[in-house]
Amino acid sequence: MNIYSYDKSFEGLLSLVFDAYQRSIFPDEIKGRDVSLPLLYTNYYEVFTDEKKARRVWEGLHKKLSKEACGMLSIVFLSEMEGVEMLLFRYMKKTFAAASSIEVNFADPDVLECSKIYRKVSREAERMRMFVRFQKMADGVFFAPIDPKYNVLSLVADFFTDRFGDQKWIVYDMTRQYGLFYDLRKTEQVRFDALDFDTETGKLWDGQAAEDEKLFQQLWKTYFTSTSIAARKNLKLQQQHLPKRFWKYLPEKQ
């Protein structure tokens, strides 16, 4: 069994592909560096991210696949699903071996699986655009907690930057413990050593929220209640469009 480890970045995975071809030894398993190894294995290779190697693999993929298919691979990687690295490695290996693009060959199980995962991740990113609720902090920055199934922050960065370009904001992934911060000039990743909000509900602690934040939340709840029609309430349909896992961050559902 040949095991490769890498730093869990997409560039690291591309570097891994380069090294595997250079050695002519292909992985049976791909793991992050912080994952324990099985008791029995033949070879272990630790891959270090190399920008030049990653670029060569990426350019090679663009010669064999459309721009959209290459973008799909990077989005599938964001799923963080178990085994996704090996799935992507097999997809890339088949791509390099094929005479023409494999991207529409849905009879191939790896091509079909990548397509399914791509749709799931893209749908989750769209939900983040729809269901985010901001809270105004005492310093005027707007804060929004999210808890997506997949690592989709990079997919929604442009949307929030364009939509809320006139105010400072933070969108924070509660599971992965990092966020995006827009300072009116640029959007960049941030991490907090000390969290000034409830990690279960995403609500700001007393003293961290702006003085009028509770008032605006109450006004929003009142508006939501007044526009609802009790006779047409359909909880099952509501949960189909707005899954219950999002409710804890929505003031109108508290």
CA 147 to chain centre: 10
Alpha-carbon distance 79 to 150, whole Å? 5
Alpha-carbon distance 16 to 10, whole Å? 10
Q: Give the per-residue pLDDT at 248.
A: 82
Q: Cβ distance 20 to 4 under 8 Å? A: yes
CA 191 to chain centre: 16
Q: Cβ distance 49 to 12 under 8 Å? A: yes
In the block, residue with structure tokens 């605006």 = 216
Predicted confidence pLDDT, tens digits, the chain (254 residues) = 899 999 999 999 999 999 999 999 999 999 998 877 777 777 999 999 999 999 999 999 999 999 999 999 999 999 999 999 999 999 999 999 999 999 999 999 999 999 999 999 999 999 999 999 899 999 999 999 999 999 999 999 999 999 999 999 999 999 999 999 999 999 999 998 776 777 777 788 777 888 888 888 888 778 777 877 777 777 777 677 777 887 788 777 76
The ranges assigned to domains in the chain are 2-123, 132-253
Question: pTM higher than 0.85, yes or no?
Answer: yes
Name the burial class of residue 2, with classes exposed (0-12), middle (13-18) and buried (19+) by CB atoms within 10 angstroms of its CB.
middle
Q: Give the per-residue pLDDT at 222.
A: 81
Q: Give the per-residue pLDDT at 47.
A: 97
Tokens of 127: 């939900």
CA 69 to chain centre: 18
Q: Give the per-residue pLDDT at 252.
A: 73
Q: Give the per-residue pLDDT at 195.
A: 67
Q: Give the per-residue pLDDT at 238.
A: 67
